[in-house]
Amino acid sequence: MAYMHIGKDFVPPDVPGKVTGRIKYAEDYTREGMVYSRLLTSPIPHARVLDIDASEALAMDGVFGILTADDVYPDGEPQSTGLKILTNEPTLVGEPILAVAAIDEKTAETAISRINVTFERLPFVLDPLDSLAEGGANAYPGDQNTFVFRQGFATEKWTEDQVASFRAGNEPTGEPQQTWSLGDLEAGFAASEFVYETTFTTAGYPHHSMEPRSAMAYWEDGKLYLHGTSQSLTALADGMAPIIGVPKKDIVFINAATGGGFGQRARANSIPSMAIPAKMSQKINRPVMMRITREEEFTIGGARQGFQGWIKVGFKPDGVMSACDLYIISDNGGKGGGGDASSAADCIDVLYQPDALRFRGTSIGSNTGHRGAQRGPGQNQIAPIIAPILDKAADALGISRLEIRKINAPHNGDVAGPRQTPFTSAYVPESLDLATQQFDWEGRQARRRQRKGSKVIGLGLGQGYHNAGRSGMDGIVTMGTDGRLKIHNGVGNLGTYSYASTSRAAAEVLKMPWENCDVLNVRTDNHLPITSPQDGSNSIFTNTRTMFGAATDMLNKMKQIAANDLGGDPADYDVSNERVHQIADESVGYTYADIARRAMELGGKYTGEADLPDELAEWTQISVSRLAGSAFMGVYHDARHEGNPPGFTVTCCEIELDLETGKYAILDMVTIADSGTIVHPQGMENQLVGGAVWGIGLAGYERHVYDPQNGLPASTGYWQSKVPTYLDTPVKIGTGWVDLPDPENPVGARGIGEPSMGAVSAALAAAITDALGGHHFASAPITADMIINHLAGTEENAVPLAQNNFRG
């Protein structure tokens, strides 16, 4: 289909501000009379606050107030997972206990040093399996170590022998908290020619967004103005209002740009620290800035769940995956939360369509960084574990590594997951073909395992998947008498440019030149509709639907007005060149400026004062009510779609691994996407290469490390964690896409942000395994130390399946 905007590059309006430094992040703002808040955080991994003596601090000149958990939770802290605003029972080092506001940060820090907090020290644990074993310490309040959905905190224990057997590499025998299955597992394994079984680990690690989550707040005329950070403005503000305790109509959230989110700034309950300056400002009646340091960002910024797992996979002689049995203990960190493990099983079912699959999982806490959604939560941890298993099966069955993936690939019409949901569309075989052709996969096979001095070549092929679309959100567009199209968009600006690219769906409907469109975002008092959080790779699918719908509502209204005024039926009219006109005689019509004027003269449904869609979210209703009567308006509530809109990626890579150092260079890499119609090619390429860098980190570098004696985090910085740099990534990453439309989206689009990471991590793990002659570490990351130990025949100096330490 020929589009005016879709599939074409453009300059998103915020980009000049990013290259000049003019765009403002939360910490760049200032306000007359602003004071500064600093945090007192927990120095120990698990404790209970017995007493806080702040008398000396509060007597200091320049100190304006203190905020404690008792202030923000007068009825007691909620018994739920996730970080609290402030807490009296910290379960990880660095968790905020209280905040002090002062004339400057030096004074605030000095005041904090004069506050005497008496802690009762409680037992702590860093490895979930240590907690799972009888007698092991428990991470959570009330001496509990897990959280059961809809039941609350609980305690889960296995015998020491059961844990020891699991660590020794055997199938876990403890009762799982969660299980689901498909097909006949026993029959699947009975039909298998090749069966592979192993335990595995994947590491937890922090999000480490570049912008620490600083926030500034003030109250004016009863309204809260909150400068913060988010992945989507209205999704965040909608959830933040009740956390702070302010009506939705009385919060203005300001967020022109967000310095990285990756899942941990999507929802208000993952960033409750923004309530601290809001509450403090309310208490002391001054604007309050709370700057967050890198170390604090590490602690309150969230982390990926680590896995301690066991997997058994069977393949028939023809290469079909006949059975997969998966058991995962997931590390829920210090605050609980996260459902990564089940998503990992779902990912295997989607990508490889096994005849039978069983998932068993148990979540156990540790007194480490709090866990939550991080780019492809679950799907991406399992990707580097499963890819080398596919290769082993291919080698054993005499099938090519490409062919075994094509044999098991999902197709249009297939279903997957615990509810056997059908795909809205799927073009994985096409993606495999495109990737391997662009990479010359077959031509490179002769290079496999070739050795030159200490260097050896490895080839890897990987796949990634994530559910990539939602629905049920709202859209608003307006037009004034200047005839410009104003697109009210609550999608956040965190680097995907989705706030702009989804807006182009509205411009497309009205055939509006982009230079005559204004995207209204930045602050919620721009009258923004509710959006889904910009997470789960959903924004393109979800919000092109709403933008398209709102613009279509405006288009229909244009035709109605024109038909009423100028004769004929609305169906006799179309739009072009910023006019609505008769199809038969284009001279009969209105300019957009004229039609907007007519709409405002008519009022009622044309200006948002009547006949609004049912089921508009409260947030959207507030925005529409404030706009009503002021402009020609299109309003839309998106009905739910059918099926699972998937995002798929395929990656090919070639590495050169140095057998003397254990390090490897990525010589070449190509990543291909199947994500429907491409809305914004440059943005798409950015998501593919950005996801690739994250995949490189997952496969080879990033991990939590904690001091086992005191529970102190040792990976609070970029270097220790370790985030990939220019030198850890290929000189150039090849990208491409299948570009076939999805029928459930009006412009054919699906998302891609998360799968791009999974495929790369899978390809890299496969390439490392290949270079090492098939040695499967069954671990992410695979570090140089692990490779060297393997090559030297040295046992690793780590407890098997260790979490939050140097292995896994």
Partner 1 sequence: MNPKVTRRRFIKGVVASGAAATTTGMWYAANGQNRPSGAVERLIRINVNGQLRSVDVAPQETLASTLRYKLGLTGTKLGCNRGECGACTVLVDDVATYACSVLTHSMKNALIETVEGLESPNGDLHPVQQAFVEELSPQCGYCTPGQVMAAVALLRENPNPTREEARHAMSGNICRCGSYDSYLDGVMRAAQLG
Minimum distance from residue 142 beta carbon to partner 1 (Å): 17
| 28 or 594: CB nearest partner 1 | 28
Minimum distance from residue 665 beta carbon to partner 1 (Å): 12
Which DSSP state fits 91?
A: -
Pick from 646, 650, 647, 741: nearest CA to 438: 650
| 498 or 779: CB nearest partner 1 | 498
Beta-bridge partners for 669: 653
Minimum distance from residue 718 beta carbon to partner 1 (Å): 5
Distance CA 586, CA 591 (A): 11
Minimum distance from residue 399 beta carbon to partner 1 (Å): 33
79: exposed, middle or buried (Cβ count in 10 Å: 0-12, 13-18, 19+): exposed
Pick from 12, 8, 20: nearest CA to 497: 12
Minimum distance from residue 160 beta carbon to partner 1 (Å): 24
Minimum distance from residue 190 beta carbon to partner 1 (Å): 44
| 115 or 759: CB nearest partner 1 | 115
Minimum distance from residue 325 beta carbon to partner 1 (Å): 34
| 664 or 694: CB nearest partner 1 | 694
User: Are 480 and 631 contacting, i.e. CB atoms less than 8 angstroms apart?
Assistant: yes
Per residue in 630-642, is it b (16+ CB within 10 Å) or e — as a string? ebbbbbbbbeebe
Minimum distance from residue 620 beta carbon to partner 1 (Å): 27
User: Are 215 and 228 contacting, i.e. CB atoms less than 8 angstroms apart?
Assistant: yes
Distance CA 80, CA 336 (A): 8
Cα 194 to chain centroid, rounded:
35
Backbone angles phi, psi at 599, to 5 degrees: -60, -40
| 427 or 514: CB nearest partner 1 | 514
User: Are 439 and 609 contacting, i.e. CB atoms less than 8 angstroms apart?
Assistant: no
| 141 or 259: CB nearest partner 1 | 259
Query: How would you write 153-218 as a 3-class SS string?
Result: EECCCECHHHHHHHHCCCCCCCCCCEEEEECCHHHHHHCCCEEEEEEEEECCCECCCCCCCCEEEE
Token duo for residue 421? 């949901």
SS3 content of the chain, % helix, strand, coil (to 5): 35, 25, 40
Fill in the amino acid letter for 480: G
| 35 or 633: CB nearest partner 1 | 35
Token duo for residue 266? 């999507």
Distance CA 273, CA 85 (A): 5
User: Are 502 and 493 contacting, i.e. CB atoms less than 8 angstroms apart?
Assistant: no
Token duo for residue 621? 């209703």
Pick from 362, 373, 361: nearest CA to 305: 373
Q: Is 294 helix (H, G, I), strand (E, B) or coil?
A: helix
- Inter-axis angle of helices 681-700 and 755-771, nearest 10: 40
Token duo for residue 415? 């279903």
| 211 or 474: CB nearest partner 1 | 211
Which DSSP state fits 749?
A: B
| 262 or 359: CB nearest partner 1 | 262
Minimum distance from residue 277 beta carbon to partner 1 (Å): 15
| 319 or 734: CB nearest partner 1 | 734
| 549 or 753: CB nearest partner 1 | 753
| 299 or 675: CB nearest partner 1 | 299
Minimum distance from residue 393 beta carbon to partner 1 (Å): 31
Alpha helix segments (H runs only) across 398-425: 401-408
Minimum distance from residue 724 beta carbon to partner 1 (Å): 7
Minimum distance from residue 191 beta carbon to partner 1 (Å): 42
